[in-house]
């Protein structure tokens, strides 16, 4: 069964860090791009980052550049999103999704992403 499961969300103070995991099952990461998206209450879902299975060509939304880092653990069939210097505006439900092909578009949109995880909540608050 094809499945993506996100882990690692939680409550953190501003300036803190979290690492999210996106565990893939039922398929291997090869030939796919994994995207990270987030949706805050009352807002549309937005692209945060994406990376291909080789861990190259990663893209980031301007709002997270320099603070978030995406990486791939092929042995674990998992993609990670390290989030540092978190801000209250990072509060959202974070989702990972897969899209066939090795290219991350410069603008991270939902186009082509056809398998989604259930999401994990990240709350940044003092």
Burial 38-75 (b: 16+ CB within 10 A, else e): beeeeeebebbbbbbbeeeebbbbeebeeebbbebeee
Q: What is the pLDDT of residues 52-85, one digit of tens each?
A: 988 888 999 999 999 999 999 888 899 999 999 9
**What mean pLDDT, rounded, does the chain reach?**
95
The pLDDT, as a whole number, for residue 72 is 95
Provide the total of helices (H) and of strands (E) in the chain, helices listed first.
Answer: 0, 11
Give the number of other CB atoms < 10 A from CB of residue 26.
10
CB under 8 Å to 65, separation ≥6 — which residues?
none
């Amino acid at each position: 069964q094809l499945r993506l499961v996100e882990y690692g969300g939680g409550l953190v103070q501003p300036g803190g860090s979290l690492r999210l995991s996106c565990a893939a099952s039922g398929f291997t990461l090869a030939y796919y791009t994994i995207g990270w998206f987030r949706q805050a209450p009352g807002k549309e879902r937005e692209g945060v980052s994406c990376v291909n299975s080789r861990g190259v060509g990663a893209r980031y939304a301007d709002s997270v550049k320099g603070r978030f880092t995406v990486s791939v653990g092929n042995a674990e069939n998992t993609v990670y999103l390290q989030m540092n210097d978190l801000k209250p505006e990072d509060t959202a439900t974070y989702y990972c999704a897969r899209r066939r092909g090795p290219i991350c578009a410069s603008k991270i949109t939902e186009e082509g992403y056809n398998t989604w995880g259930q999401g994990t909540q990240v709350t940044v608050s003092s």
